[in-house]
Copies of this chain bind each other. A is one copy, B any other.
Amino acid sequence: MERGSASAGPATGAETATGSGTAVRHHGNRHGRSEAARMAVLEAADDLLVEKGFAGVTIEGIAAGAGVAKQTIYRWWNTKTDILLDAFLQDAAEAFTPADHGDLAADLRDHLGRLADFLAGSDAGAVFRALLGHAQHDPAFAAVLRARYLDEQRRRDRLPLENAIARGELSAGLDLAFEVDRLVGPLYHRVLVTGDPVDRAFTDRLVDDFLRRPPHPPASAAGGGTP
């Protein structure tokens, strides 16, 4: 899973790998949390998820796989889903800033295509689906998942539309949340509900359809809007 490479970059902030030795800050406590242990746990967690599925992810299994004591895990995480969420965020966080080609159609095709690849075709997407599945069972975790990932992802989903508005391609009055629902909703539906495959043809068609229809007025004017 090449975790090391995912986080070594300047974007990740304080937690670098242990090898560097310089950036270990955390001066509040005596000698601070072991970065090696943290990485080993995250790596072991999604190795387990990929190998044996969600039910095969176990705190004890993670501890054994990471060569770490259970207590070390419990010191820093509360549940296995917290661990998986950390692992997921570390892998996936930067993967998604949509490009800005100066053209709404191109931006949307690009973004939806990459979203589809992520959701249906990547290891990280598998972890995400597992987390989203768990969120259906656990409202508290759902809130955490939203705060730590989904809200950010929705902002990214909105970005191409916002850029288009800034460019004047789209009217400023759009209900962006609704439009995003309409763009990505069918994609999530296929991935989460029907299980049908999602390919470029499908996502392009979604974009196509979105662009061909008259922009939808916001809810307050739902009754009478015209293009």
A residues adjacent to B (C-beta < 8 A): 53-55, 129-130, 132-138, 142, 146, 150, 154, 177-178, 181-182, 184-190, 192-196, 201-202, 204-206, 208-209, 212-214, 216, 219, 222, 225
Contacts and interface: CB of A to CB of B under 8 A. Distances in A.
B53 A137 contact: yes
Given A184-B189, A189-B189, A212-B213, A194 B150 contact: yes
A47 B20 CA distance: 41
A189 B186 CA distance: 8
A222 B194 contact: no
Contact of A150 (B146, B193, B213, B222): B193
Given A192-B192, A204-B222, A208-B222, 14 more contacts: A55-B137, A129-B136, A132-B136, A133-B136, A150-B193, A150-B194, A178-B202, A182-B206, A185-B185, A185-B188, A185-B189, A188-B193, A189-B189, A213-B213
B194 A154 contact: yes
A225 to B, nearest CB: 7
Most chain B CB inside 10 Å of its own CB: which residue of A132, A138, A212: A212
B222 A132 contact: no
Nearest to A57: B137
